[in-house]
Structure 1
Amino acid sequence: MEVKVYGTSWCEDTQRTLKQLSGFGVAYEYIDIEQDTEAARWVREQNGGKQRTPTLEVGGQILSVPDEEELESVLREKGFMA
């Protein structure tokens, strides 16, 4: 799977992003960083030591707390949406 979402179940931004991906019909892997310490470490590495959720990996590109327009743009650019 080339779209990975690193987040937490209680994070509103994470939940918004998951709903947006589902609405677009884009398959993704969700990793709960509260259940996966290596994933939590990776998120901090990508965000200058901060735990920002959601952090996404989309076709090799890292997005930190993207807004709806940014996420849609990158999904189209990477060929996940027409």
Structure 2
Amino acid sequence: MAAFGTRSPYARVSTPPITPVVVYGRRWCAISQMVRRYLDRTGMPYQYVDLDLHPDAEARLAWLTGGRVHSPIVSVDGELLVQPIIAELQWVLRKR
């Protein structure tokens, strides 16, 4: 039977790496808040970047997505999801 963690040389169980998730959104955006509430409920750790407070991040996202930024944009291990629905987010998180 396979274990979820692996044994380190010091007999401590190490956990598998966590998928890095970053939510780029706005405080007033309902979809951004819905995504954040979903991640909070599932216990998925994530970083939140408020685009109103970080215009440099918004400019970088505009370049990466090829135009205007539609919030939220969720980065899951480098894959960008623009205005994802919860089912789409679940699918991407499951396949990692």
TM-score, normalising length from structure 2? 0.76
Superposition CA RMSD, Å: 1.2
1:50-75 Cα distance to aligned partner (Å, 9 max, x none): 12100011011110010110000101
Q: Which of 45, 64, 71 matches 1:53?
A: 71
1:20-59 Cα distance to aligned partner (Å, 9 max, x none): 1111110000000111111111221233211210001101
- CA distance in structure 1 between the partners assigned to 2:35 and 2:94 by the alignment: 15
For the pair 1:18 / 2:18, whether they are aligned, the reply is no
For the pair 1:68 / 2:66, whether they are aligned, the reply is no
Aligned to 2:26: 8
Q: For structure 1, which runs of at least 5 residues remain unmatched after alignment? A: none
Q: Which has the higher Rg, Structure 1 or Structure 2?
A: 2
Q: For structure 2, which runs of at least 5 residues remain unmatched after alignment? A: 1-18
Higher mean C-alpha displacement, 36-45 vs 20-29: 36-45
- CA distance in structure 2 between the partners assigned to 1:19 and 1:46 by the alignment: 25
Misfit runs of 4+, over 4 Å: none
- CA distance in structure 1 between the partners assigned to 2:64 and 2:28 by the alignment: 21
- CA distance in structure 2 between the partners assigned to 1:47 and 1:60 by the alignment: 12
Q: Which has the higher helix share?
A: 1
How far off is 1:2 after superposition? 1.1
Aligned to 2:45: 27
Number of matched pairs: 78
TM-score, normalising length from structure 1? 0.88
